[in-house]
Amino acid sequence: MRTPPGVSPSDFALAVAQFQAAVGPDWVFTSDEDLDLYKDAYSPFWGEPEEKIAYAAVAPQTVEEVQAVVRIANQYKVPLYPISTGKNLGYGGSAPVLSGSVVLDLKRMNRILEVNEKNAYALVEPGVSYFDLYRYIHERGLKVWIDCPDPGWGSVIGNAVDRGGGYTAAMFRNHFDAHCGMEVVLPTGDLLRTGMGAMPNAETWQMYKSGYGPWIDGLFSQSNFGVVTKMGIWLMPEPEAYLNGTVSVFGYDDLVPFIDILNQLENGQVFTGMPFLGSPVFSGIDPGDQMRPNNDPELAAILAAPGGPPKEALEAHSRKVGKGLWAAKLQFYGPEKVIRAQWEHCRERFSAIPGAVFEDGDLLRFPLAPDQLVNEHKVTFGIPNLSIFFIGARSETSPPGDGHIWFSPIIPRTAEAIFEAQRVFRDAADSLGLPMQPIALPSTYWQRAFIFIFGFPITHDIETNKKNRAAFRTLVKIAAEHGWGEYRTAPAYQDDIMDTYSFNDHALRRFHETVKDAVDPNGVISAGRYGIWPKHLRGTRA
């Protein structure tokens, strides 16, 4: 048995024995066969010595067992790496940031403690997946929706604390914002509840987020300050109906008023669904469609022009083939008469752009029949699934890879920023020898910012992975020079990204380190996660 960094073989043996006593011998894993399952399936270090590997795993079933494990870890200074379901491929999976850590696998804590239909919330443990929660609600016929990412096998808690997003109405798409109340095992093994849950017998733990005094929940997101063992999440009442509508424009510079109108409508909550942006002339505009280009050779020639595609050529081609150069698919949830009025108003507003073309989507009422779902993006209706795997890595529709990692910088929500980012990333891709779609449009998970999401392939060729890692790091730096930061990243790059948030000599990281040292004096929880290292490992930071 290998031993975690800084732990003697005898101490580790004692710790493992105590873990076994705490959770039962069946739930402590030390064999290679078992530990291989905790490897990152999309590891950019595949086959290299830097690959991040767990040296043991322990799977408690109760909060008390989590506390016991954390206390044992403190006694022997064993690094733990908590995961919920560990399924976030592309952002690190279940492998620890610090190789050799013991994975604290919370999959057995999978109780749905409450689903309140009238007040539209759930209280869950970290092992509860989107599938689990959906099934529970569906079996009982409750009229509430979950909001889930693509794909749906992940943890409701894990996704929220990693600040992931979904696809229904805006106030539910930001999963951290939609959470309400946490229970946390602190790095010392102490147990606290946040928000109203800090009051014994609280009646409003899942109804009022911030409680009294400092609101600390954010500390437990994208961090290593504690282990979240319960969390409330707000659900969306099942709407009466759903409608979408698509607006296309043909002028290159039309994107400027287009985005302004889009922002004003969304910020005024005239629509609450996620607007999908795309170039119909290049591909469909639903999520993932940008990875399935129509491969029009005439367009390909324009896009390949040195120095970037000339806008006149793009416009001429777009008009010739009768497909918009820029488009948005707007989505509406609510009573039929309301969403019809909302779409009508949106049409009126976008009509200010000469030549704008509109396409009405079908109106759907709930619940949907199974055949209605066949061609739909199921997460639009809060239905978890795994169909996302049919695009991207391991698919037939794009160059097959062995995995991917996401590069996901946040840029301003303006057309000017889109044009600049297209130019900057196109130039960078040219010099790095990467493929890059030069008129790619950003995603709109959040209401006030755009996110560009580029997938970097992970291969089973070490040299290619090395080259891609260097390219990723270069892109991070180029983005930061333009004031664009990533909102999350895989463990391989967590230090690199934190390095770019360097205002006032890295004041934010220094603050995190102060908090880390105070709440986790032995540095036992998730060493290195999001670029925060315990004191004794800080010198080893890349």
The catalytic residue positions are 91, 487-488
Residues 6+ apart with CB under 8 A from 137: 115, 144, 146, 235
Cβ proximity of 419 and 326 under 8 Å = no
In the three-class reduction of DSSP (H, G, I as helix; E, B as strand; rest coil), residue 486 is classed as: strand
Please, which residue, 199 or 462, has the CB nearer to a second copy? Answer: 199
Please, which residue, 156 or 236, has the CB nearer to a second copy? Answer: 236
Shortest CB 333 distance to a second copy, Å:
8
In the three-class reduction of DSSP (H, G, I as helix; E, B as strand; rest coil), residue 174 is classed as: strand
Residue 355: CA count within 13 A, CB half-sphere:
17
Please, which residue, 48 or 344, has the CB nearer to a second copy? Answer: 344
Distance CA 452, CA 421 (A): 9
With left for phi above 0 and alpha for psi between -120 and 50, is residue 364 left, alpha or beta? beta
Distance CA 525, CA 45 (A): 23
Shortest CB 301 distance to a second copy, Å:
33
Please, which residue, 465 or 489, has the CB nearer to a second copy? Answer: 489
Cβ proximity of 228 and 123 under 8 Å = no
Please, which residue, 85 or 342, has the CB nearer to a second copy? Answer: 342
Please, which residue, 299 or 451, has the CB nearer to a second copy? Answer: 451
Shortest CB 9 distance to a second copy, Å:
33
Angle (nearest 5°) at CA 179 between 177 and 184: 120
Shortest CB 316 distance to a second copy, Å:
29
SS (H, E, C) 245-271: EEEEECCHHHHHHHHHHHHHHHHCCCC
Which tokens hold the place of 3? 């031993």
Residues 6+ apart with CB under 8 A from 203: 196
Shortest CB 192 distance to a second copy, Å:
4
Shortest CB 7 distance to a second copy, Å:
25
Cβ proximity of 128 and 526 under 8 Å = no
Burial 279-317 (b: 16+ CB within 10 A, else e): bbbbbbbebbbbeebeebeebeebbeeeebbeeebbbeb
